[in-house]
A and B are shown apart, each in its own frame.
Chain A
Amino acid sequence: MPLKTLKQDTAETLTLEWVLHVRNYKLTLNKNLCVGCEICALACPKEAIGLEKQPKALGVKAKHAKIDIDLEKCNFCGICDILCPYGAIKVTVTGEHILSVVEKESFPELIRDIQVDTSKCPVDCVECEEACPLDLIKITQLTADGKFVENIDSLTEKEKTGLQIKIDIEKERCPCCRICEFNCPKGVLRVRKFIHGKISIRPEKCPEGCTDCLDVCPILGALYLSDEDEQVHVNEMFCVYCGACKVVCPVDEALELKRTMVSHTPVHSGAWNKALERLTSPVEMTKELKTKGSLKARESVRKRLGWKGK
């Protein structure tokens, strides 16, 4: 059987495949999860991913860009899978989700730092579940003996006090926007963004009545239409710096987005440096390298002199 290279594009998914006799490499893009941001396209080391802006019809909301992957260029390395903030891409080898670049330490994983202390949860509070713009949070109540509570209202007040609260978050798909954290009345959730940066809109440059960026932003609340000037403004607090807005913005100078840092597991890799450089900037990449260098120096000094540092 000759090598088969397949590409299938349906309404729901885009699938790329290498079918070998002994192995099967598969990349699946879930189009329902993809928000048309630029992260994967920027990070792809083979420049296999392209963004196609969607035509805009008058009076209709702007649509986010579609991504297309070149089967000729893709090498199924899985870097897009690792970096996608929304978990839209999966790369598998013979059905198993094993990423060799992570195993061989040639690419880091994102750190989605989400801490949950459910001991403080009010029993019938569902604020975070309702606030999550991507429906990733599921709250369940368990009785003391570990049984699911189907209907909280059927319980007596006494029974309610003994309940355990469980918060399940689909971490792989979470872009860490912090909206749940800010909506939690008790400080149960603590979320750190994994992409840091700066976004700004210059309303004076915006075409009149254009809300394209707002239309495509997947994080409800990161961008908003101001009642005062009827123009789109930024709420930096919730922005995840994915760049979906920037992709569709029709005017170069109206929207500025800079990424400055990406939280990741420790790594020493040229591929990561390049990805980081493209995601942030050469300056930011160099900063990370310098930090790594000084950490390394400190480590070797500590080893040799027994210096503990602070």
Chain B
Amino acid sequence: MAKEEIQKKSKTEAPRIGVFVCECGSNIQSMMDVEDLTRYAKTLPNVVYAEHMNYPCSRQGQEKIKDAIKNRGLNRVVVAGCSPRVYDAVFRRCVSQAGLNPWLFEMANIRELSFYCHQNKPEEAAEKAKDIVKMAVAKARLFEPLQPIELPVTDKAMIVGGGIAGISASLDLADMGFKVYLVEKTETIGGHMALLDKTFPTLDCSICIEGPKMVDVGRHSNIEIISYADVLNVDGYVGNFTVKVRKNPRYIIAENCTGCGECRDACPIEYPNPADMNLGVRKAISVPFDQAVPLIYTINKDYCIECYKCVDACGDRQAINFDQKPEEVEVNVGAIIVAVGYDMHNPADMECYGYGKYENVFTSLEFERLILAAGPTGGKVIRASDRQKPHSVAFIQCVGSRDINRYEYCSGFCCMYTLKHAVMLKEKYKDDVQVYVFYNDMRSNFKGYEEFFNRAKSSGVNFIRAKLENRRITEDPKTKNLMVYAETEDGKPVEAEAEMVVLANAAVPIQKATELAEITKIPIGTDGFFVECQPKIRPNETDTPGIFLAGACQGLKDIPYCVAHGSGAAARAATILNKSKWLVEPLVANVNEDLCSGCGVCESVCGYDALRIEQNDTKKVANVTEGLCRGCGMCAAACPVGAITMPHYTSEQVVAQAKAVLEKVR
């Protein structure tokens, strides 16, 4: 039969259902007699054909299904196999290639819903599998062809967060020709990477490799950086988002600021610089670091005394405006990439480490600023107590991470940056410094990392394996040296005296994660990071179509991983942006306006703002915004007059399924 003919017939003629039972290697085959299930399927009403095969999802399997549609005149297809979440799309495409409407297909999930969860009761599981197939067939009998919904697409993107992941995503999208708005909370893009001294495992200077990327972002004609700004609200749906952004006042007119720094030189006021982890200071009018992009100065009014010396220094450039107000802008975009990164846990609440109590205990990021040549000490690693170079430094791993009472996850990059710090110290001060690393497990997977571990070992770093429990640091009140006490796996005590201690404190979700999750409607996992759509094969997507994740906000990542993840998110976003119309599945609420009384119950139960009661020509009726509707069916269930139907899950279909499974009971 020709494709067109199948298409035509499927709409008019009586259901002719084909059932294909998957053996799934040994997954299903070993649990039940698939032959028996196939025989059973053949007995069901309207089933004209049934067969079992290994892997219907394979190319050969799909060809067999297509052949059966053509040769046996099938107009409905049921595959009894695994989860529809992954394979629905595969089989819909398969049946549509054979000429059937893709919505005349149903997946009967006998693997997860029966065999996986009843492994110890194979007989009952087999019975349940029959019921699942029976339900699928009962539903398929009532299927109607559906057409996808077309949505317009704005071919611009917004990237929230200007760390290395956001930079990577921005550059990729901009290079593809899309307009990109890069929203950054702080004064400059660059994120954590801009604050690091070197990067592992190559010991490249961090800002030297990120700086050019930052400059590229700043100069790219397709990228508009909206820095020192907060995302306030996200409205709309895939292809059509409206994002409200507040630009916070820098008290500097960006267009007039040349970044010369004369104002900074004139300014008399200093305050602790958060970019230096508060180890050093910056002026009340300044940039957080010299490589800042955009290079626009900012006045911190919390500290400024308004002497206006900066105004004098700025002179004819007239870049300073003390009356600047916050400014709200609305940006229309087709896709949003959230790349807001991570924060560092403050280990002061873990008393055993003495952070904040003993002067010579530092966090890893503080150490990074100490050893950085452009840092507050000019690259001199010195103790806080006597400003002397330490002759022994102990690094302590897993401070807060991998601790089931705090952060159960592994922060991922601490092992490697600790190796980096240890190697840098050894190479800088040679035998003049003893380096101890108290580690739990050394995690040095990925390219070049194990080799770097070996480099650390051969450079004379002392590695001491110590479990998390019973760690303790004490201070000698006279010398301000620190004693590190710990235990090995089998409980043997280990200890070392060090003049400085550096803690590999846990990386944690950003402080405002919950707030941002509410705005973007991205769910947050139990670990506090944003949850992707599918952890393995859709790591960039969220449950909200058109909103993507990049970098450490989805789960902690090191730099190369963040760059790749950012590029991945850009590619995913481009699949939307490059289309003039975006097709969505037709699984959206359908309102029968004749029946609808405009009571508003549906509006109150909708969790996606997709339903609104609006006045039409004659009366008030529920109106569906198709781009927002997620097809959950809450409204259809709630509607007191049955005016709302969910295509592919109509009341008739659901009732038919229920009847099918309850038949036996009755």
Instruction: Give chain A's interface residues, CB within 8 Å of chain B.
Output: 1-4, 18, 20-23, 45-46, 75, 77, 79, 100-101, 103-107, 268-272, 274
Contacts and interface: CB of A to CB of B under 8 A. Distances in A.
A266 to B, nearest CB: 14
A20 B309 contact: no
A22 B280 CA distance: 6
Contacts of B269: 75, 77, 100-101
A20 B279 contact: yes
Interface stretch (B18-26, B299-307, B608-616, B636-644): B299-307
A21 B278 CA distance: 8
Contacts of B348: 2
B529 interface: no
16 contacts: A2-B277, A2-B355, A20-B376, A21-B279, A22-B280, A22-B281, A22-B377, A46-B305, A75-B269, A77-B269, A100-B270, A101-B305, A104-B266, A268-B312, A269-B309, A271-B306
Contacts of B384: 1, 21
Nearest to A271: B307
B346 interface: yes
Contacts of B361: 1
Interface of B is mostly: loop
A75 B279 contact: no
Interface in B267-282: 267-272, 277-281
B230 interface: no
Contact of B360 (A1, A2, A270): A1
Nearest to B270: A100
Contacts of B270: 23, 100
B359 interface: yes
Contacts of B305: 45-46, 75, 77, 79, 101, 106-107, 271
A156 B487 CA distance: 84
A257 to B, nearest CB: 25
B266 A2 contact: no
Contacts of A107: 268, 305, 307
Contacts of A22: 279-281, 376-377
B654 to A, nearest CB: 59
Given A1-B366, A20-B278, A21-B376, A45 B306 contact: yes
Given A75-B303, A107-B307, A20 B272 contact: yes
Contacts of A268: 312
B9 to A, nearest CB: 75
Given A18-B272, A268-B312, A106 B307 contact: yes
Given A2-B366, A75-B284, A104-B267, 13 more contacts: A1-B279, A1-B366, A2-B356, A20-B278, A20-B281, A21-B366, A22-B279, A46-B303, A100-B268, A104-B309, A105-B309, A107-B305, A268-B312
Contact of B307 (A3, A20, A270): A270
Given A3-B278, A21-B384, A75-B305, A101 B355 contact: no
Interface string B294-318: 0000000011011111011000000
A23 B281 contact: yes
Interface in B251-266: 266
Contacts of A3: 272, 278
A46 B359 CA distance: 30
Contacts of A1: 279, 356, 359-362, 366, 384
A292 to B, nearest CB: 14
Contacts of B266: 104, 106
Contact of B268 (A2, A21, A23, A77): A77
Max chain B C-beta neighbours (<10 A), residue from A79, A106, A268: A106
Nearest to B366: A1
Contact of B280 (A20, A104, A270, A272): A20
A18 B273 CA distance: 12
A45 B311 CA distance: 18
Nearest to B309: A106
Interface residues of B, number: 36
Contacts of A269: 307-309
B114 to A, nearest CB: 56
Contacts of B267: 104
A75 B271 contact: yes
B268 A101 contact: yes
Contacts of B280: 20-23
Contacts of A23: 270, 280-281
List of 7 A-B pairs having minimum Cβ-Cβ separation, nearest first: A106-B307, A271-B307, A3-B278, A270-B308, A21-B279, A104-B268, A45-B305
B346 A2 contact: yes
Contacts of B309: 104-106, 269
A22 B284 CA distance: 17
Contacts of B307: 101, 106-107, 269-272
Contacts of A79: 305
A2 B278 contact: yes
Contacts of A104: 266-268, 309
Interface in B375-404: 376-377, 384
A23 B276 CA distance: 13
B386 to A, nearest CB: 12
Contacts of B272: 3, 18, 20
Interface string B337-377: 00000000010100000011001111100100010000011
Contacts of A75: 269, 271, 284, 302-303, 305
Contacts of B359: 1
A268 B309 CA distance: 8
- Of listed B268, B277, B366, B370, residue having the most chain A CB within 10 A: B268
Contacts of A77: 268-269, 305
A308 B302 CA distance: 46
Contacts of A46: 303, 305
A128 B356 CA distance: 52
Contacts of B278: 2-3, 20
A106 B376 contact: no
A274 B281 contact: no
